[in-house]
Amino acid sequence: MDYRPSRMAVVAKCAEAFIREFFDQNPLSHVGLVTIKDGISHRLTEIGGSPESQINALMGKLECSGDSSLQNALELVNGYLNQIPSYGHKEVLFLYSALNTCDPGDIMETIEKCKKSKVRCSVIGLAAEIFICKHLCEETGGSYTVALDESHFKELLLEHAPPPPAIAEYAAANLIKMGFPQRGAEDLISICSCHKKIKSGAEGYICPRCKVNVCELPTECRTCGLTLVSSPHLARSYHHLFPVAPFDEVTFKLGQKGGQNCFGCQQSLINTGGQSNIHVRCPKCNHHFCFDCDIYIHESLHNCPGCESQRSSSR
Amino acid sequence: VGAKGLCVKPGGAAFAFSGSQFVPQSEDKLIFTPNDPRSLMKLNVDFRSIKGHKFNKVDGSKPTPPLLNLSKDSDKGGGYIFEFDNVGNRDLCRDFVARVLGKHQGTVPARTNVPSEKSAVSTGPEQLSSAEMERRMKLLREDSELQKLHKKFVLGNILQESEFWATRKNLLDDETNKASKQKPGFKSAMLADVRPSADGQTNKVTFSLTTEIIHQIFAEKPAVHRAFLDYVPKKLSEKDFWTKYCRAEYLLRTKNTLAAKAEAADDEELAMFLKNDDILAKEAKLKIKRVDPTLDMEADAGDDYIHLPDHGILRDGSRETADIDSELARRTLSQDLNRHAAVVLEGRSTDIESTDTKTVAEALARSKKEPPPSSAADDASHERLVKVARMTEIEDLQAPRSLPYAPLCIKDPREYFDSQQANALRPLGSNDGRKARSCSLSTDDAFRHLMDQISSVKMNCPVVQSDVALKVLNELNEGISRSRRLNLKNPQDSLLGRLPHRTRDELMDHWTAIQELLRHFWSSYPITTAVLSNKVQRLKEAMTQIYQKLQDIKESAQPDVRHEISQLVKPMTQALDAAFYHDQQQKSSKAGTGSKPNGF
């Protein structure tokens, strides 16, 4: 079953969904796009932190022709990723539909180079499993999967959105200076530093170090180079480090005190009519939740309401 | 230069000329005359009134013609848009306009005796390649704003040339440059070889060879390469050579041995194509000598040149006699595949620029390395053996190789808060803030003490009068809703509606300059070398100058626009103030007096 209307269209659509999900999970990260055409790879967009510019490029006319060259793409990407500071993790994700790679030289050397520069390469194949892709992913610590059809492809792609565990040799811990800007006052005028437009002070954020206006967060201040984020952005990245413990499944026992309503949505957990009364319970705070709240807590909220509402002295 | 022009006057009327001459009269004026002698329209433009120029990028996909837009003073609006017949003409005119504009505004971008030599402190004249110089000049020509900045700072000795361009690396870094360094590889589709197209009516078959394919043929079949260099153009013309080659390939493919033998007997060159490649045979012999004798030498059909004596043991002994007899080659697909792979792994050394096969052949011959002396060859081959040994592991039998993960290590947050407490306590005068203060109050005592303090505050009358509070709230609400209404209507105009465009543009120019200065200022901290401190000094002087200028503008403004000017100037002065304050703080902390809260 091949991809309709064309592989290019399917890949572009799924890539757009991936980029949105990726920035949702990792607001402090940057993404760039590269295409391979006729044996040469071209940069589609620069590495940046705003999803809009990437998605605009995907919505434009994308053409594909000729052979694909894994080596050329890896060399190009290596060149761009070398400019990333050492505390950043470098990753490449290939969406590969060709069945071969037509390279100008020895691709094994390029793979060694990637390994040395600590780039983690993953591949999602659309056609069949290829040995060189598997070798590349194994050497650099990435994952290689092959999609069976369109929905499977989307699923595999979205699995790459949450950050992978950091590989010991690649991770370098550093202290990074960040600024938490506030919005300007409503009645003041300020001049935006990215577009040079005059606008009301309330429409942007003021960098705490150089007092210049920036349009959106997270970004790097153009004037003083400070990384500017807002605390929800940082919190979203933090949640991947401290995930909520998986809840245990329990059934309702007769004579049990409490646990009759879901602690999250207050709906009754007791089903009349003989249906099974399975629900979940947090192992730390022992509160009971229904399945909907369980999914919501683990995927969106990343905090257990029961644990948070306990007094901090007991923690 | 033939062009079509559209003149846009302030009122919005547009006059179109067609088939006219765009004649740069002199460095001062531009005369635009229509070819049609009957028309009386003539355009005589003084270059001094042109303030900026813009042009559009032209690519083949869209049908827009190349345009050049000369904009006048933006206060009155208006300007001229010229539509050209082809891009080359437009580029000529654009370059000319850029040069003239530059002259009028004081720069001379055509000649760049690099100004870094003029500046007071130079780190030695910069060694710029001519390509780099070209790119910079091109960028300056294309962007008049950049040109203005360049003139103000670099030629005004505030910034050095290298510093100016350091922040603009992404503009200079030609993307096409990077992409063009890549070379496409040899296609393995060639192995199917050049398939002839047969015309159904006649008995002819046609082969088409491109330079790329010819390059590949030379790389993979060194005997053909040698023959080409020897025979062409002395004995055979190129066309004849390739005709014979293609005939040989055709005969080989159809496996018509009798016809092949017959033709080989007639034609000497054809015979050469049909034979085995002796260069490869020699190389294979050399290769064999370097192989580790403990390896299994049982060769199979995948190896090349198995017919050579003392090259492996044939499994099937019966084929020996037949092969040695005939001189004609029998090549199989796997042999071709192996040869192709060997060529690809060696890497692609030459770039194909020319279409002339003779030069291609010679270039390839030059780039071929002589077989190295035996000692060096041994090292190289040993390395290769190690690589081969590693790659031939059967992966199913290996343990899964996953790199170990970094364990999460979060320091105790109490450490951070304790150190902060020490920092906070230090200015209060205690010698060592780290010493924990021993408190001997119990909870009850503390609570009672607090209650006493609160009740001692006289709370007879409310802190704020209620009607005054209401008035203040109402006014604040009104102010906020008013400004929000104005924002929704028309942001740009209503914010600074009464400000004349000229002043606004002037202030925005100042703002661009301030941004540039600030960017260089903030990037020079922390100051570690004398060069940086010198740079900061120069920047501070420039910033003070601009600050002064802004104050003057504010004071000399007319009363009706003064409020708006001061509103616009405020963020600029705020940014400059922040920079000055930072500089002061750095200086005082270096002198050792103040304490740095939070390690800033």
pLDDT value at position A159? Answer: 93
Alpha carbon distance A31, A50 (integer Å): 8
Alpha carbon distance B543, B571 (integer Å): 14
Q: How high is the mean pLDDT of chain A?
A: 85
Mean pLDDT of the region B429-450:
69
pLDDT at B113 over 60: no
pLDDT value at position B433? Answer: 45
B391 pLDDT band, cuts 50/70/90, is low
Residue of B40 and B98 predicted with greater confidence: B98
Q: How high is the mean pLDDT of chain B?
A: 67
CA-closest candidate to residue A6, choices A124, A126, A122: A126
CA-closest candidate to residue B193, choices B136, B122, B248: B248
Alpha carbon distance B354, B269 (integer Å): 27
| Helix and strand element counts for chain B (H, E) | 23, 9
CA-only gyration radius of chain B, Å: 40
Q: Which residues of chain B lie closer than 8 angstroms to A173, CB-CB?
A: 409
Most confident of A179-183, B4-8, B151-155: A179-183
- Note whether B577 contacts A222, CB cutoff 8 Å: no
**Percent of chain B at pLDDT exceeding 70:** 45
Residue of B477 and A196 predicted with greater confidence: B477
**Distance from the B525 Cα atom to the nearest Cα atom in chain A, whole angstroms:** 10
**Ordered domains of chain A (ranges, CATH):** 7-170 (3.40.50.410), 178-239 (no CATH), 246-312 (3.30.40.10)
Three-state DSSP class for residue A212: coil
pLDDT at B473 over 80: yes
Residue of A310 and B159 predicted with greater confidence: A310
Most confident of A295-309, B291-305, B415-429, B485-499: A295-309
pLDDT value at position A258? Answer: 65
Measuring CA to CA, how many Å separate B420 from each of B299, B415, B417, B582?
Answer: 74, 9, 5, 22
Half-sphere exposure of B167 (CA within 13 A, CB side): 20
Residue A235: Cβ within 10 Å count: 13
- Note whether B571 contacts A241, CB cutoff 8 Å: no
Give the range among A265-274, B109-118, B227-236 with minimum mean pLDDT: B109-118
pLDDT at B418 over 90: no
pLDDT at B57 over 50: yes
pLDDT at B76 over 60: no
Q: Are strands A227-228 and A178-179 parallel, antiparallel or unpaired?
A: parallel
Mean pLDDT of the region A126-154:
92
Q: What is the pTM of this model?
A: 0.69
Would you state the structure tokens that stand for residue B514, as one six-digit string? 């301030």
pLDDT at B527 over 50: yes
Measuring CA to CA, how many Å separate B126 from each of B48, B122, B129?
Answer: 34, 9, 9
Residue A270: Cβ within 10 Å count: 11
- Note whether A108 contacts B522, CB cutoff 8 Å: no
Cross-chain CB nearest to A168 (options B184, B403, B515): B403
Size of interface A-B (CB pairs under 8 A): 146
Give the range among A24-33, B201-210, B578-587 with minimum mean pLDDT: B201-210
pLDDT at B19 over 50: no
pLDDT at B425 over 50: yes
Alpha carbon distance B28, B96 (integer Å): 11
Q: Domain B2-104, what fold?
A: PH-domain like (2.30.29)
Alpha carbon distance B487, B502 (integer Å): 22
Chain A residue with minimal CA distance to B520?
Answer: A223
H or E element at residue A294: helix A291-296
Residue of B248 and A131 predicted with greater confidence: A131
pLDDT at B10 over 50: no
Q: With b meaning 16 or more CB within 10 Å and e meaning fewer, what string describes B470-497?
A: eeeeeeeeeeeeebeebbeeeeeeebbe
B556 pLDDT band, cuts 50/70/90, is confident
Three-state DSSP class for residue B43: strand
pLDDT value at position B471? Answer: 92
Would you state the structure tokens that stand for residue B275, as one six-digit string? 């034979």
**Distance from the B383 Cα atom to the nearest Cα atom in chain A, whole angstroms:** 13
Q: Are B273 and B248 in contact (CB under 8 A)?
A: yes
Residue A210: Cβ within 10 Å count: 24
Q: Are B159 and B520 in contact (CB under 8 A)?
A: yes
pLDDT value at position A308? Answer: 86
Helices (H), B106-160: 130-142, 144-153
CA-closest candidate to residue B75, choices B566, B549, B497, B504: B504
Measuring CA to CA, how many Å separate B98 from each of B85, B91, B264?
Answer: 20, 10, 68
Chain A residue with minimal CA distance to B524?
Answer: A224
pLDDT value at position B18? Answer: 47
Tens of pLDDT, residue by residue over A154-195, are: 999 999 998 888 877 777 777 788 889 888 776 677 777 777
Chain A residue with minimal CA distance to B526?
Answer: A224
Measuring CA to CA, how many Å separate B556 from each of B265, B505, B548, B551, B560?
Answer: 103, 17, 12, 9, 12
pLDDT value at position B173? Answer: 62
Q: Are strands A288-289 and A205-206 parallel, antiparallel or unpaired?
A: unpaired
Alpha carbon distance A261, B106 (integer Å): 79
- Residues 6 or more apart whose Cβ sits within 8 Å of residue B492: A197, A198
**Percent of chain B at pLDDT exceeding 90:** 1
Alpha carbon distance B271, B274 (integer Å): 5
**Distance from the B320 Cα atom to the nearest Cα atom in chain A, whole angstroms:** 36
pLDDT value at position B125? Answer: 44
Spans of all domains in chain B: 2-104, 191-305+329-363, 498-589
Tens of pLDDT, residue by residue over B502-519, are: 777 888 888 888 888 888
Cross-chain CB nearest to B348 (options A43, A105, A188): A105
Most confident of A201-210, B335-344, B481-490, B576-585: B576-585
pLDDT value at position B128? Answer: 59
Measuring CA to CA, how many Å separate B482 from each of B86, B187, B567?
Answer: 52, 69, 17
Give the range among A29-43, A170-184, B155-169 with minimum mean pLDDT: B155-169
pLDDT at A46 over 90: no
pLDDT value at position B324? Answer: 41
